[in-house]
Chains A and B, each alone.
Chain A
Amino acid sequence: MSADIDTLSDFSSGNDGARRFARWLAGFALHGGSILAFAALLIFFSITAPFFFTLGNIGNVLGQSAILGVLAIGLTIVIIGGGANVVKGGIDLSLAANLGLSAAVYATLVSTGHGDGVAIAGALLTGGLIGLVNAIAIVIFGIVPLLATLAVMNVVAGLELVLTQNTVVSAASDFLSVLSNYGPFDIPVLAYVLIIFTIIAAGIVQYTPLGLRLYAVGAFPEAARAAGLPVKRIVASSYIASGLCGGLSGILSVSYLSGSTTGAGEMLLPVVVTALLSVVFSRRLVPTIGGTLLSTLLVGFLTNGFQLLNISSTLVSGIQGILILLVVAATSLQRGKGVA
């Protein structure tokens, strides 16, 4: 419950030396430890798993992570802008359903004879509209994001059922086959898409005044309002950006699966987990775009390495669960809560 990470924590209470040390240790262990663990994991797989450390395999993992990565980056933007409190902060539960509906719109448009241009516009418009509805519900009606996006998620999932009759809509087009193919150096095109998208998103969120305002609004909404920042507009934009990420991931998913398929909703928990894990990859333990990419790739490499080592992939979700427990425990410790 107390997974909100704010930079204030260093100043709040706790003169007790032992407690301060525990917090310092937790922060250090969490950030340094997770980077080290990631590196150790890559080295371990490189030594033990055949094919692991090859350009082709790393490219495959990047490509396989593209859909999850784009969605998780969308969620990260919302978490940055809404604050990281899991209950009251920014969250977009409609993202996975958004992926499903956007993919269904794209596949339906292509399979009914429309061009890729129309289909791309249709998918992005669908995603953007879902983001807009979220934004209106949260900013204008003041509904808690957790509930607002939960309701929107159900509406969107219902619309997908109406559109596809819960069936697979196959789609084939020139653009889709380019996306699902291999690019330079025999690396999947989706891998390039993920890298370029991450660079653009990170550029905007981490290095522009707009990004700084987003962090300000999320971490200190009162201060941001006092400083004259358009808090509501910035929060609304974060949901629209997240919706557009849903639309984009829908397009990627259609290319990857040669159509739209049912069961997109299952992506929700992995997306939330990935975005939450991203904090351990930033020095100040805040969500960042780069951190989200690393956390997406961590899961991707784990799954891939396990398959190459012929270990059951069901273990991956168990390891993910342990990681989250560690993250939440360590961030609680770092904030000085959760220790008696």
Chain B
Amino acid sequence: MSEIKDSALAIGRRNLLKAGLAAGATLAVANAGLLGTSSGAAAAEEEIPSLKGKRIAISATGTDHHFDLTAYNAQIDEVKKLGGEPIAVDAQRNDTKLVSQLQTLIAQRPDALVQLLGTLTVVDPWLKRAKDAKIPVFTIDVGTPNSLNNTTSDNWRIGSDLALQLVSDIGGAGNIVVFNGFYGVVPCAIRYDQLKAVIKYYPDVKIIEPELRDVIPNTVQDAFSQITAILNKYPEKGSIKAIWSAWDIPQLGATQALVAAGRTEISTYGVDGSPEVLQLVRDPNSPAAGNAAQQPEEIGRTAIRNVARYLAGQKLPRETYVPALIANKKNIEEVTKTLRLG
């Protein structure tokens, strides 16, 4: 499977990087541990129990982003494939609608409920109500004690892989600009902390202070103007080596700003595998150098398979990690093929 091949590649690159570093041992240990957790997805060849006669509720916060839409459709397809009946509702990023739909879903008494994303404080009271009503609750990218199993990308690995790619690309030295506006969102915090953990061992890599704050909405335009401003502050080529963000919509704006200012010697890095950003990574002249692409289709499928396993009486881990693929200028063709974007 290609994600396994990719992780092997990633390890090769890591080992190269670590060669000169005594401290690298710590990371190697962490890496081994992470490989262990991703084995769940690798075991996709196993027999998946049938969902025949089961009604599976699928509640999505929205389907306006590539990630949501792909994971949502993958869940519906997988329920049908396993012989079950999906009850799928999409709240179109409207929290009031999301809660109403959850309330009605609970009254419908499905055999299981899968919540895709959502602000924890908004959805959690209703997931608890579903749990209290004896409906097995599953989640994608929502960590809550009210869910039996949460399927998510491994954000520790995403964070460290992306950071290592960045450090390797800039030769282990130079100033980097960081967007850190969503430290309150757990996956973003993990990715940021992993970046800090990696550059701790590269004393010549410096994060420019103050860090930038990415915003929602108008993320692209805002990132564009913030980067344009900071380029004026650091006009000399080489004074900034890279730009990092915890997701890839700020990366999109930053990349556009670099092109507009003719500063394409700077590289940008982000997370999510949005098709428009992967397109930039593919373009050899674009400053977009790396993107950690999550596998939304695999994530959606895995969540439903976990439901089937649970309903068949199998034990589930608390979290199921689906590996992300680090796309760079060299492997972009292969990654898009795996993600079926090409």
B239 at the interface (CB under 8 A from A): no
B238 at the interface (CB under 8 A from A): no
Interface of B is mostly: helix
A296 at the interface (CB under 8 A from B): no
CB atoms of A167 and B101 under 8 A apart: no
How far apart sit A330 and B35, CA to CA, in the bound complex (Å)?
66
Q: Which of A121-129, A136-144, A252-260 contacts B (4 or more CB under 8 A)?
A: A252-260
Which A265-294 residues have a C-beta within 8 angstroms of B? 266-267
- List A residues at the B interface (Cβ < 8 Å): 50-51, 54, 56-57, 60, 63-64, 67, 166-168, 170, 180, 188, 253, 256-259, 261, 263, 266-267, 303-304, 307-308, 310, 313-314
CB atoms of B121 and A304 under 8 A apart: no
Q: A64-B100, A257-B122 are known contacts. Are A166 and B215 too (CB-CB below 8 A)? A: yes
How far apart sit A175 and B24, CA to CA, in the bound complex (Å)?
53
CB atoms of A64 and B103 under 8 A apart: yes
Residues 227-257 of B, flagged 1 when their CB comes within 8 A of A and 0 if not, give 0000000000000000000000000000000
Q: Which residue of A60, A257, A310, A313 contacts B107 across the interface (Cβ within 8 Å)? A: A60
Q: A60-B104, A166-B215, A180-B125 are known contacts. Are A307 and B89 too (CB-CB below 8 A)? A: yes
B184 at the interface (CB under 8 A from A): yes
How far apart sit A67 and B122, CA to CA, in the bound complex (Å)?
16
Closest 8 CB pairs of A and B: A170-B121, A64-B100, A261-B95, A168-B119, A257-B122, A257-B95, A307-B104, A258-B121
B87 at the interface (CB under 8 A from A): yes
Min Cβ gap A48→B in Å is 14
How far apart sit A180 and B85, CA to CA, in the bound complex (Å)?
30
- Of the A-B pairs whose beta carbons lie under 8 Å apart in the complex, a sample of 23, sorted by A's number, is A56-B107, A57-B107, A63-B103, A166-B215, A168-B119, A170-B121, A180-B125, A257-B122, A258-B122, A258-B125, A259-B121, A261-B95, A261-B119, A263-B94, A263-B95, A266-B94, A267-B96, A307-B89, A307-B104, A308-B108, A310-B85, A310-B87, A314-B90
CB atoms of A51 and B108 under 8 A apart: yes
A64 contact set on B, CB distance < 8 A: 100, 103-104
Min Cβ gap B201→A in Å is 33
Q: Which residue of A50, A167, A168, A303 contacts B100 across the interface (Cβ within 8 Å)? A: A303
**Nearest residue, chain A, Cβ from B95:** A261
**Nearest residue, chain A, Cβ from B86:** A310
- Can you add 7 more A-B contacts, CB < 8 Å, to A166-B216, A257-B122? A57-B107, A60-B107, A64-B104, A257-B95, A258-B125, A307-B87, A307-B108
**Nearest residue, chain A, Cβ from B215:** A166
CB atoms of B119 and A313 under 8 A apart: no
How far apart sit A50 and B122, CA to CA, in the bound complex (Å)?
27
Q: Which residue of B96, B103, B121 contacts A253 across the interface (Cβ within 8 Å)? A: B96
